[in-house]
Amino acid sequence: MALQQHQSNPVRIANEVGMLRSGMSGPIVLVEGATDTRLFRRLFIPSPQARVIHCKGKSNLLAAISAVTSRGITGVLGICDADFDRILGISTVRNVFAVDHHDTEIMISESPAFAHFYAELYEREVDEREMGRTRKRLLSYAAHIGRMRLWSMQNGGKLGFKTLDAGEYIERDGSFNLESCVNALVAEKDLDANALLSIATISAESPETEISCGHDLTSLLDSDAAIRRRSQAHGRGVIEKMLRLSFDAQAFSTTNIYSMLRLWEKQEQLKVIPDS
């Protein structure tokens, strides 16, 4: 599946879709970012039967889908992260499919692919119970941060998460120094650290896989594995690449988004996913 690149403008994206449609009848897939293109083009049928367009952001993707729909162009779908949409009850958009859980990284970590990734990262033979305990522990740490991310988003973005490296707060014994993390987030801000700590630890009905951000989990995995290996961390970017590469067609077939895409194929009479 070929990678299309262009300026991050929904109208330009819609124009590109229109140009592609004039020369092809296969599906056109809009995705959020460059890493999504590298993931999904491995899982979808190749070019020229299908094309993928990188929209440089979820807002661009949604606006482009709206523009494409208004022009009557068919056979176009979007794939994006769920983020907090399901928690907040945000309505889905026709022909736009959110990945399982919060985002792609969390989806992969909850799939069978995680076992292969875990063995490579931790450099050890996979013990299912050990792996499960590790994943559950780190996901709970990511959920603490996720609750603060959601609170910040709902309150005008008062916390700056761009520079946050969740893995920095993993202790040598594998615990998470949440207090230090909170103090770093409120530094030089007129916010109550204790109040934010309560937000981070409050019991919520939402599953941790929906509240947790994949970037936080991969950072935590990187640091935790480095401690266990007694070696240097690889860096979050490397961990996320390893995670994506572990996600094969078999693991993809176990996800909810796979089932939704198969239904879309039947409705549109188009093929996106190759037959096994």
172-193 pLDDT tens trace:
999 999 999 999 999 888 899 9
Residues in Cβ contact with 204 at an 8 Å cutoff, skipping those fewer than 6 apart: 147, 211
Tokens describing residue 17:
């879709």
Query: For the segment 219-276, what is each residue's pLDDT rounded down to a tens digit?
Result: 999 999 999 999 999 999 999 999 999 999 999 999 999 999 999 999 999 999 998 7
For the beta carbon of residue 268, count every other beta carbon within 10 angstroms. 15
Of 241, 240, 261, 247, the closest CA to residue 112 belongs to: 247
pTM of the shown model: 0.93
Q: What is the number of H-type helices and E-type strands within the chain?
A: 14, 5
